[in-house]
């Protein structure tokens, strides 16, 4: 199955773009949701997370996101450890899912594609970009959080300008360019096998 990556920084509009592809009938895999689901339900991952970060990772059987975020967003080393546990399982889950789809291509939406070696095996990668100030504003509104919270999460991602250079396609989501025509152009090219 031809799998196309969809990436971009926090608040760039990946999920918004993914919804347009889904409307066109293209199956979409959300790597971030899958990672959370695996952390909650995979016995192997649960064991590894407890071993690495302590039993407090789970509270009454539920993933304690606040506890984990507090550890990993302050310390890049701990974040790398978390990613080394979660990413291989999430990458495999994407391929297992893709093998069951019936479509000209499928989309894999992930904030970290280049950072996690998930680009390996992907046919092409689409990047979504938006000005930093707009991204911060959108996430503050969506998540009801502070500017500092958003900036802390952004610190752990490769900068947008580097990321976009690695992409085969770039969608500009800056409140001026229309999204749907940009998605349609890429969809039509992918359908043609380009
Ligand atoms: P994250 O990496 O944090 O999951 P994301 O890249 O998936 O973010 P979205 O959730 O798609 O980004 O967008 C962030 C917020 O901005 C959402 O509330 C979304 O509705 C809004 N948004 C995105 N693009 C647009 C747009 N073109 N016009 C208006 N609102 C938008």
Closest C-alpha residue for ligand 1 atom 28: 175
CATH number where 170 lies: 3.40.50.300
The Å distance, Cα 138 to ligand 1 centre, comes to 6
Closest C-alpha residue for ligand 1 atom 30: 138
Give the pLDDT of residue 162. 87
pLDDT in tens, 6-60: 999 999 999 999 999 999 999 999 999 999 999 999 999 999 999 999 999 999 9
DSSP states along 4-67: EEEE-STTSSHHHHHHHHHHTT--EEEHHHHHHHHHHH-HHHHHHHHHHH-GGGEETTEE-HHH
β strands within 56-168, DSSP E: 58-59, 62-63, 106-109, 124-129
Give the pLDDT of residue 14. 96
> Is the distance from the beta carbon of residue 127 to the nearest atom of ligand 1 less than 6 Å?
no
- The atom of ligand 1 lying closest to the CA of 12 is 6
Provide the domain limits for residue 49. Answer: 3-192
Token pair for residue 86?
């979660």
Number of domains the chain contains: 1
The Å distance, Cα 9 to ligand 1 centre, comes to 10
Give the pLDDT of residue 108. 97
The Å distance, Cα 135 to ligand 1 centre, comes to 8
> Is the distance from the beta carbon of residue 11 to the nearest atom of ligand 1 less than 6 Å?
yes
| Average pLDDT of every residue of the chain | 93
Does pLDDT of 185 surpass 80? yes
pLDDT in tens, 70-126: 899 888 899 999 999 999 999 999 999 999 999 999 999 998 888 777 788 899 999
Give the pLDDT of residue 167. 95
pLDDT, average across residues 163-167 = 93
- The atom of ligand 1 lying closest to the CA of 175 is 27
């Amino acid at each position: 199955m031809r799998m196309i990556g969809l990436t971009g920084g926090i608040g760039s509009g990946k999920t918004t773009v993914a919804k347009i592809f889904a409307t066109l009938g293209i199956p979409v895999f959300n790597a971030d949701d899958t990672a959370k689901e695996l952390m909650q339900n995979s016995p192997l991952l649960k064991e590894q997370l407890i071993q690495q970060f302590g039993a407090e990772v789970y509270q009454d059987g539920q993933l304690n996101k606040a506890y984990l975020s507090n550890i990993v967003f302050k310390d890049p080393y701990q974040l790398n450890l978390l990613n080394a546990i979660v990413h291989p399982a999430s990458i495999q889950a994407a391929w297992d899912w893709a093998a069951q789809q019936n479509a000209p291509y499928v989309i894999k939406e992930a904030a970290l594609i280049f950072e996690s070696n998930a680009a390996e095996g992907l046919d092409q990668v689409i990047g979504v970009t938006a000005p930093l100030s707009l991204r911060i504003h959108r996430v503050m509104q969506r998540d009801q959080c502070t500017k500092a919270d958003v900036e802390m999460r952004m610190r752990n991602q490769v900068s947008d300008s580097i990321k976009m250079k690695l992409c085969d396609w770039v969608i500009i989501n800056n409140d001026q360019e229309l999204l749907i025509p940009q998605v349609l152009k890429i969809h039509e090219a992918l359908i043609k096998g380009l």
